[in-house]
Amino acid sequence: MPTKTPPSIIAIDGPAASGKSTLGLKLANELGYLFFDTGVMYRAVTWIALDHHIDIMNEKAVTALAENSPIDVVPASKSDGRGCDVLVAGRDITWETRLPEVDANVSVVSAYAGVRAALSQQQRRIGQRGEVVMVGRDIGTVVLPEADLKVYLDATAEERAKRRFDELTARGAKVDYDDILAKVSERDRIDSTRDIAPLKAADDAVVVDSNILNVDEVFERVLNLCK
């Protein structure tokens, strides 16, 4: 029987902490593809704005940062739990992009039209080269609507908050479950109600419910879709 080539462009979208990055990285490693987590670019712009003491509500200033900051996302240089390295002008800011201040402000930044235009153009250029697993909120709908396989990974807010709680606790952070649940829900609310590129499943996406599946089961399910 002839072997089918796996889809070249794979888009994985879904709400906060639904397991997109874990799935995307595993899948990219399995297929020998590039893993590209687009969320880190929005996080990097947010961190630069906070670091420069720029008011997050100042759309013009934040947009200028997105347009002019040399943000690089490259394969992980260390095995410390990161999926990739995030560099700004050569400085490694991978863990800074995960700070609670970034979590709290990133959805405001990512709703700005100019920020989205600047970042999604770069994401599209990288994605169009193929052999890529790209993860985000609008990959299947806006960034790469021509993707060969689109997955929308979902789970209840409670389950996702529990996973984020476990992830942060494992990293040694002192966190409160109810606080995480409130923040994850607020980020989803902003992400799915914004005017431009709101979070939603593409019409031709395969929706995978990760409430009832563990990491390995989600991976197997999506790998089967690639075969």
- Residue ranges that bind ligand CDP, judged by CB under 6 A: 16-17, 21, 38-39, 42-43, 106-107, 110, 136-139, 187, 191
**Structure-token pair, residue 5:** 């080539």
39 vs 145, which CB is nearer to ligand CDP?
A: 39
25 vs 139, which CB is nearer to ligand CDP?
A: 139
Our CA dihedral for 46, 59, 137, 52, rounded to 10 degrees, sits at -10
Q: How far is the CB of 150 from ligand CDP (least distance, A)?
A: 13
Q: How far is the CB of 1 from ligand CDP (least distance, A)?
A: 37
Phi, psi of 104 (to 5 degrees): -70, -20
Q: How far apart are CA 75 and CA 36, in angstroms?
A: 9
Q: How far is the CB of 179 from ligand CDP (least distance, A)?
A: 15
14 vs 32, which CB is nearer to ligand CDP?
A: 14
7 vs 20, which CB is nearer to ligand CDP?
A: 20
Q: How far is the CB of 187 from ligand CDP (least distance, A)?
A: 5
Question: Angle at the Cα of 111 (from 70 to 206), degrees rounded to 5?
Answer: 95
Our CA dihedral for 99, 162, 178, 51, rounded to 10 degrees, sits at 10
Residues in the chain: 227
